[in-house]
Amino acid sequence: MDLLKPLVALLAIVNPIGVVPFFIHFTQDFSPDERRRTIRISAFTAFLVIAISALAGLRVIEFFGISIASFQVGGGMLLLISAVSMLNAQPAESKPHDLSEGDEKLDAGASIAVVPLTIPLLTGPATISTMVIYAERTRHWWELAVLVGYGVVVGAATALAFSASGRIARWLGRTGINVMTRLMGLILAALAVEIMADGLAKLFPVLAGPLAH
C-alpha cells in the first residue's frame, strides 16, 4: 500500500485551513481560555474519528455484510461529492444548517468543538470512508499503526490551523482560503476517481483489463 496517499486524502478532506472561517465565526465571543479548550477538543476528536475508523471501520461494514468493493465505490462517490463542494469553496463535510448550530451559546465551547466544528465540518462520512478503504489495504500491523498515526498528524494540523486562525485569516483573506479549498478539492477528486475505479474493477472483473492500462 502507498502510505502517502491516505495522508494526502485525509488532509484534502479535513482541510483545517478551509474550516478556519467557521472556527472564527463560532468562537468570536469566546474568552481565550474557552477558545484554547475548543481547539484541544476539536483536535482530539478529529484524531479519535480517524483512529476508530481505521481500527474498527472494517468490522462494522463486515457486520452489515457490505463488501469492501461496494464500500469503495460508495465511498469514492462520497469523496467525489465532497470534492465538488470543495471546488465550490465549501468545506468538504459542510451542511447548510451548520452556521445556525454554531449560533447557540454552548458550554465553554465543548459542544461546538465536537459539533459542528469536528463533525461534520472537519470529519464526517467522507473521512470515515477514506480510512475504512485504506485500512482494508493494509497487510501488516505497522501499516495500520501508520494510519492511526495520521490521525495524530491531522489532529496536530487542526490545532495548528485553529491556533493561528487570526493570522491565517488576515494573511490569506477569504479569497486565499477559497483558492486553498479549491486546490484541495481538485486533489481529492483525483483520489476519489482512483478509489472508485479500484472498487469497480473488483465488482466487475471485466473492467480490470482496461483499467489496468
Please report which confidence band the pLDDT of residue 25 belongs to, taking 50, 70 and 90 as the band edges: confident
Predicted pLDDT at 79: 79
Whether the pLDDT of residue 112 is over 90: the answer is no
Q: Whole-number mean pLDDT of the chain?
A: 82
Predicted pLDDT at 151: 95
Separation CA 151–CA 153 (nearest Å): 5
Predicted pLDDT at 100: 46
For the whole model, what pTM was predicted? 0.72
Q: What cell was used for 91?
A: 468545506
H-run or E-run covering 27: none
Q: Taking residues 166-173, what's their average pLDDT?
A: 82
Please report which confidence band the pLDDT of residue 152 belongs to, taking 50, 70 and 90 as the band edges: very high
For the segment 28-70, what is each residue's pLDDT rounded down to a tens digit? 778 888 899 999 999 999 999 999 999 998 888 888 888 888 8
Q: What cell was used for 117?
A: 466544528
37 contacts 161 by C-beta, under 8 angstroms: no
Between 204 and 111, the higher pLDDT residue:
204
Between 180 and 193, the higher pLDDT residue:
193
148 contacts 50 by C-beta, under 8 angstroms: yes
Predicted pLDDT at 1: 62
Predicted pLDDT at 50: 95
Q: What type of residue sits at position 68?
A: I
For the segment 125-136, what is each residue's pLDDT rounded down to a tens digit? 788 888 998 998
Q: Taking residues 110-116, what's their average pLDDT?
A: 78
Predicted pLDDT at 102: 42
Q: Per residue in 40-58, is it b (16+ CB within 10 Å) or e — as a string?
A: bbbbbbbbebbbebbbebb
212: number of Cβ within 10 Å: 8
Q: To the nearest whole percent, how much of the chain has pLDDT over 90?
A: 27
